[in-house]
A and B are shown apart, each in its own frame.
Chain A
Amino acid sequence: MKERFAIVGSALLLALPLAFGAARAKAQSIGFLSTQLRPVVETTRMRTAILKDFPQKVAFIPTFPEQLLIQATADSKRAKPTLSLFGALHGELEPLVPAGLLAPVDALAPMAKARGVPAGLMALARLGTMHEMYIPWMQATYIMAANRKALPYLPKGADLDHLSYQQLAQWAANITKATGRRMLGFPAGPKGLMPRFFEGYLYPSYTGGVVTTFKSPAAEKMWAFFKGMWKYVNPNSTNYNFMQEPLLSGDVWIAFDHESRLLDALRQKPTDFVAFPAPAGPEGRFYMPVIVGLGIASHAADAAGAAALVKYLLEPKTQLLTLEETGFFPVVRVAMPSNLETGVRLEAAAIQAMQSAPDAKQALLPVGLGKHDGEFGQIYMNTFQRIVLRGQTIGSALAIEAKDLQRIMDAAGAPCWSPDQPSQGVCQVR
Chain B
Amino acid sequence: MRRDRLLAYALIAPSILFLAVIFLIPLGQTIALAFTRHGTFGLANFARMAGDLNFRNAVANTLGLVIVVVPLQLALALGMSMMLRHLKRGRELILWIWSIPLGVSDLAAGLVWLGILTEKGYLNTILYHLGVIHGPVSWLTYETPLALFIGILVAEIWRATAIIFVVLVAGTQLIPAEFEEAASVFGATAWQRFRRVTVPLLRPSIQTALILRTVLAFEAFAVVLAIGGQNFPVLLSQAYLWQDTNQDYGVAAAYAVLIMLITLAATLFYLVALRPRAGEVA
Contact = CB atoms under 8 A, between A and B. Distances in A.
Contact of A382 (B53, B120, B225, B247): B53
Contact of B229 (A180, A190, A372, A389): A190
Interface in A201-257: 234-236, 238-239, 249, 251
Interface string B244-261: 111110000000000000
Contact of A375 (B119, B140, B229, B246): B246
Contact of A236 (B140, B244, B246): B140
B135 interface: yes
Interface in B124-141: 135-136, 138, 140-141
A342 interface: no
Contact of B248 (A234, A249, A375): A375
Contacts of B244: 374
Given A236-B140, A249-B120, A251-B136, A190 B248 contact: no
Contacts of A189: 229-230
A129 to B, nearest CB: 31
B69 to A, nearest CB: 22
Contact of A190 (B140, B142, B230, B247): B230
A345 interface: no
A374 B240 CA distance: 13
Given A190-B225, A190-B229, A386-B53, A236 B247 contact: no
A293 to B, nearest CB: 26
Contacts of A190: 225, 229-230, 241, 245
Given A190-B230, A251-B119, A374 B245 contact: yes
* Interface bin, chain B: 20 to 34
Q: Most chain-A Cβ atoms within 10 A of its Cβ — which of B54, B120, B230?
A: B230
Nearest to A246: B119
Query: What band does the interface of chain A fall in when counting residues whose beta carbon is under 8 Å from B?
Result: 20 to 34
B92 interface: no
B143 interface: yes
Interface string A369-402: 0011011011000100110010000000000000
A389 B142 contact: yes
Contacts of B53: 382, 385-386
B247 A375 contact: yes
B99 interface: no
A267 interface: no
B49 to A, nearest CB: 14
A181 B120 CA distance: 14
B89 to A, nearest CB: 46
B152 to A, nearest CB: 13
B251 to A, nearest CB: 10
Contact of B140 (A239, A386, A389): A239
B230 A235 contact: no
Contact of B143 (A181, A235, A377): A235
Contacts of B208: none
A249 B230 CA distance: 22
A377 B54 CA distance: 15
B141 A378 contact: no
Given A236-B140, A238-B141, A371 B247 contact: yes
B120 A235 contact: no
Contacts of A385: 53-54
B138 A181 contact: no
A235 B246 contact: no
B242 to A, nearest CB: 9
Given A181-B135, A374-B245, A378-B246, A238 B119 contact: no
Interface string B33-58: 00000000000000000000110000
B30 interface: no
What are the 9 A-B residue pairs with the smallest beta carbon separation, nearest first?
A235-B141, A375-B246, A374-B245, A371-B247, A382-B53, A239-B229, A235-B143, A374-B246, A190-B229
28 contacts: A189-B229, A189-B230, A190-B230, A190-B241, A235-B143, A236-B119, A236-B141, A238-B141, A238-B142, A238-B229, A238-B230, A239-B229, A251-B119, A251-B120, A372-B247, A374-B244, A374-B245, A375-B246, A375-B247, A375-B248, A377-B245, A378-B241, A378-B246, A382-B53, A385-B53, A385-B54, A386-B53, A389-B142
Interface of A: 180-181, 189-190, 234-236, 238-239, 249, 251, 371-372, 374-375, 377-378, 382, 385-386, 389
Given A239-B231, A374-B247, 8 more contacts: A189-B229, A189-B230, A235-B143, A236-B119, A251-B119, A375-B247, A375-B248, A385-B54
